[in-house]
Amino acid sequence: MQKVLKLSRALQRDADIPIVALVVSQHDKILAIESNMREKHCDPTAHAEILALRTASKKLNTTKLQNCMLFSTLEPCIMCAGAILNAQISTVVFGAFNEKFGAAGSRWDLLRDPLASHHPEVIGGILEEECSLLLKGFFLRLRLKSETTTGLFSNR
């Protein structure tokens, strides 16, 4: 989780939300490290978790990642939770909870839904404060930049 947070800090000046996801094999081999690329690729599905699952699947040449763990700085959304279930990831570890869009216990709990055919272990809140502060800082800078360009802080 420290590695994911460190990489997220390095991205905080980018246009995309600084979210990083990492997929690790059962032998602690890193299969994928990806960051959010929604803005860069003009792709609403280019979440860090989705990209990491794609990369890991290609590396292992399979759609099933049963013995793998996924780490992310932010609780997965519904789309990412669905992809995690389809990939059959064994464990999901995340930092900050996502009260608006989280699907691993905050808003929804898709990963633990009794009707789902797969139930990964979910560990949330790891380095929560650090991950949350990183994301809040990004959005604060974004708001300040937006207000500056719209003239809210112009000299009159």
What contacts 143, CB < 8 A, 6 or more positions away? none
Total count of residues recorded for the chain: 156
- For residues 29 and 46, what is the distance between their CA atoms, to the nearest angstrom? 23
8 Å CB contact between 87 and 25: no
Closest of 104, 107, 103 to residue 124, by C-alpha:
104
Give me the sheet containing 20-24, strands edge to edge: 30-35, 20-24, 69-74, 91-96, 121-123
75 classed as catalytic: no
Catalytic member of 34, 39, 49, 121:
49
Q: What CA–CA distance (Å, rounded) separates 132 from 75?
A: 11
Residues classed as catalytic: 49
